[in-house]
A and B are shown apart, each in its own frame.
Chain A
Amino acid sequence: MLLLFGAWQLSVPLVGMSSYFYPAPADVFAAFVDLVRKGILPVYLADSVLRYLTGMVAGATLGIAAGVLIGVHRTAALALSPLLKFLFAIVEVAWIPIFVVWFGYGIETIVLALIYVVFFPVLYNTLLGVRTAPQILVNAVRSLGASRADVLRLVILPSALPGIITGLRLGAGFAFRGLVFAEMVAAKTGIGYLIFEGAQSQQTARTIVGMIVMGLLWLAIDQFYLRPIERATIQTWGLTVDAAERT
């Protein structure tokens, strides 16, 4: 990382462009300090994180619920599959203008766009996990007198967990990209808006600050939350080789 910044700084005199076209790391650092001093970056960061978390939690909850429902219920699968396939084809970018018309610029529009982005990867990975639950285990639990709820709790959900976690990771990544785009189009605050507005107002260094903050935020989310939760969930509940060996 330091090498990258060093090379970047050294390349500035070689490129010989103005800081508007090619800001040096020192310009970007100055822009970062300025944004913090003026209270802009903390507010934008907090707004982005709040929107991201809200969209992620709501989208993941709906995706998991729909995935399990479609996976275990044949009628629900028949009824919902065509609609879901139709909606899956319409990318969230196409929905944002409609959401802006309905809800205006702000958190509702962005959260709805994020729910849409998160919902499908979570749904399809959950569905895959549910449908690939070992039938032998389902039969074994049933033969012991388990109810449908017991089968779901004891076999299907633990088997589906690796799929659910994969879906959550995919959804988390897609939501992050969706957040930047949605904030560029439908917000007046947030890191996506900072990136967009910086470029619009010829403050390229601010745009790069926004991009770096976005990258660091994703690294932090992945390192401190997604990876440990993935590891813990699969080890504790998932039907992995490790788990099977322990029992």
Chain B
Amino acid sequence: MLRLPAIATALLLLALAAYALAAQIGARDKLAALEPQPEARGDYAITLAFAPERFHQVLLQDKGRLVAVRGHTVYMKDVEPAALRSIARNYWVQSVARWSGS
């Protein structure tokens, strides 16, 4: 009788799991360019596929100190390694690069 809610929930959970897995793989690929892997706070340039909107800036501000936005790139300081991984998991983040901070 409750087959429909069970199937809907299972499909939803499956989709969420697939999304989480894809995000994890995407993050690993984006961070692979950062050898050696970050172990302390650092400064990074986060490039998006489009000009960041307020939504993206607010979200990134939670992960570190947002210093500047130029074109499609957001420049950030004092980003923890865990926060950087969480940034890279967003599919709308195109690439992550070290930044000299100036």
Contacts and interface: CB of A to CB of B under 8 A. Distances in A.
A228 B5 contact: yes
Interface in A216-247: 220, 224-225, 228-229, 231-232, 235-236
B1 A228 contact: yes
Nearest to A201: B54
A37 interface: yes
Interface string A42-67: 01000000000000000000000000
Contacts of A43: 55, 59
B50 A38 contact: yes
Contacts of A189: 55
Nearest to A194: B55
Interface residues of A, number: 16
A228 B90 contact: no
A224 B55 CA distance: 31
B58 to A, nearest CB: 7
B92 interface: yes
User: Chain A interface secondary structure, helix, strand, loop or mixed?
Assistant: helix
B55 A236 contact: no
Interface string B49-60: 110010110110
Nearest to B7: A224
Interface residues of B, number: 16
A52 B53 CA distance: 26
Contact of A39 (B2, B4, B5, B90): B90
Contact of B92 (A37, A224, A231): A37
A228 B2 contact: yes
Nearest to B49: A37
Interface of A: 37-40, 43, 188-189, 220, 224-225, 228-229, 231-232, 235-236
24 contacts: A37-B50, A37-B92, A38-B55, A38-B56, A39-B55, A39-B56, A39-B90, A39-B91, A39-B92, A40-B55, A43-B55, A43-B59, A188-B58, A189-B55, A220-B8, A224-B4, A224-B8, A225-B8, A228-B3, A228-B4, A228-B5, A231-B1, A232-B2, A236-B1
